[in-house]
Chain A
Amino acid sequence: MRAGIHRTDCCVLTRTRRNFWGATLAEVIIGLALFAMLSLAVTGTLIQTARLDTKDVTLTESTILADTLMERRVSDAREYERYRDLLGTPDGDYWTLESDRPDNLQTRYIYRVEVSELNPAMKRVMVSVSHRDSAFPIPTPDLSQGQNGVAITVGTMIAEPAR
């Protein structure tokens, strides 16, 4: 009898033992699909691990950077004259970091400071750190990173120092 599926008199499909070694096309397809799924799972895990690591680095860098930039603003604001100067910061402009940083963050991040005056003795300062698009010579946020390129935004209220 030849290997394969045969129609009997009762119209019942039966399978007979094949006389040669090898896999049917269906078995090969199922095997390949399983192998592809396994390979995809492993590759996906490795890619996700690398992404998580990059995100963790970005989170740490941007958090520390934003805190440092905010700290400078608050430090400046402790002196009356510089408290007045806070409003002189042009809103909406992106600024580069100092070029001699040992951590080299100036190549990857830019920042923006927004100051608003809630009342004459209270200002709100927001510092946003954004990913830098290295394709442009002027500081430009990297919009491909999502959230308009913003990595982190921190804010605080600063009261006018006593004179």
Chain B
Amino acid sequence: MKRPYVISGLTLAEVLVASSAFAFVMMIGIGTVSVVKRSGDQLRGRSEPRQQLRVLLGNLQRELRAATFIYSPNVSLDFGSTYQHEFTGGPPTDPSDPPVQEVVFARSESAAVEPEYTVEALFLQQDLGPDRAYDGAHKIVLTRIARQVGVTPGSPADIQLTNLPTSDINVRTFATATPAEGLRIRQTPTGDGLMFEFVIGHKTEGESILYETYQTHLTMRNNR
């Protein structure tokens, strides 16, 4: 007996329904991946400035504790082709005076009677990189110039800041996403240490900037 000719396959309606279902499932999947990725990016964007701040504080703790002298310069200093900064005096000890946004200090490199000094400067620099946290964000720059001797050997106060060798500068930058007025520095009433106020920012989902403030206090151990 001859079998009837049967066309096997799917109808147009079945193909359309299956395609729609597949597209729906894919949309949900892509949406899920997108939400998870955005969430991870936001977490990274928020935690990166804090991580940078913690690293900066580790550096400052080590180096400021070994410091012996804090300068009050009114000069524009050149730290190579990229980093110049106008210093406008030193950190005030009087709480009623406005804080400064930069500091220059010296630390001795040995326990000798007339040691050489490393001169370090901390200041804000606008972050113009493509990965900046937001427009107007600043990074904190810490420069270091070793083996400096002043006019009077053993006296860090006599080191000529305007004659620092720009060829021998070590520059470290910390992408703390700090706003323009987000670094405030004062000296402790005894003049032995520095009180810092760091502000870091990150962009929220609504494109506004959320700021966090951290205060710390570091004391020179080597200045007496």
Could you list which residues of chain A lie within 8 angstroms of chain B, going by C-beta atoms? 38, 41-42, 45-46, 49, 52-53, 56-57, 59-61, 63-64, 67-68, 71-72, 74-75, 78, 101-103
New A-B contacts (9) at CB < 8 Å, excluding given A49-B43, A68-B216, A78-B221? A45-B39, A46-B35, A49-B42, A52-B43, A53-B46, A60-B50, A61-B214, A71-B193, A75-B188
Question: From A72, which residue of chain B is reached at the shortest CB distance?
Answer: B217
Distance to closest chain B CB from A125 (angstroms): 14
Between-chain CB contacts (< 8 Å), 10 pairs: A53-B47, A56-B46, A60-B53, A60-B212, A60-B214, A64-B214, A71-B193, A71-B219, A102-B215, A103-B215
Partner of A67, one of B43, B188, B216: B216
Instruction: Check if B61 sits within 8 Å of A67, measured CB to CB.
Output: yes
Instruction: Check if A68 sits within 8 Å of B215, measured CB to CB.
Output: yes
Question: From A56, which residue of chain B is reached at the shortest CB distance?
Answer: B47
User: Given A45-B39, A64-B216, A38 and B32 touching (CB < 8 A)?
Assistant: yes
Question: From B61, which residue of chain A is reached at the shortest CB distance?
Answer: A67
**Chain B residues whose C-beta falls within 8 Å of the C-beta of A78 in the assembled complex:** 192, 219, 221, 224
Instruction: Check if B197 sits within 8 Å of A56, measured CB to CB.
Output: no
The count of residues in chain B whose C-beta lies closer than 8 Å to any C-beta of chain A is 29
Interface majority SS (helix, strand, loop, mixed), chain A:
helix
**Chain B residues whose C-beta falls within 8 Å of the C-beta of A49 in the assembled complex:** 39-40, 42-43
Instruction: Check if B39 sits within 8 Å of A74, measured CB to CB.
Output: no
Instruction: Check if A64 sits within 8 Å of B39, measured CB to CB.
Output: no
Distance to closest chain B CB from A75 (angstroms): 4
**Chain A residues whose C-beta falls within 8 Å of the C-beta of B216 in the assembled complex:** 64, 67-68, 71
Question: Is B147's beta carbon under 8 Å from chain A?
Answer: no
Instruction: Check if A57 sits within 8 Å of B212, measured CB to CB.
Output: yes
**Chain B residues whose C-beta falls within 8 Å of the C-beta of A103 in the assembled complex:** 212-215
- With A and B bound together, what is the CA distance between A119 and B96 in angstroms? 42
The 7 closest A-B pairs by CB, nearest first: A75-B219, A103-B213, A60-B50, A49-B39, A56-B47, A68-B217, A68-B216
**Chain A residues whose C-beta falls within 8 Å of the C-beta of B35 in the assembled complex:** 42, 45-46
- With A and B bound together, what is the CA distance between A52 and B193 in angstroms? 34
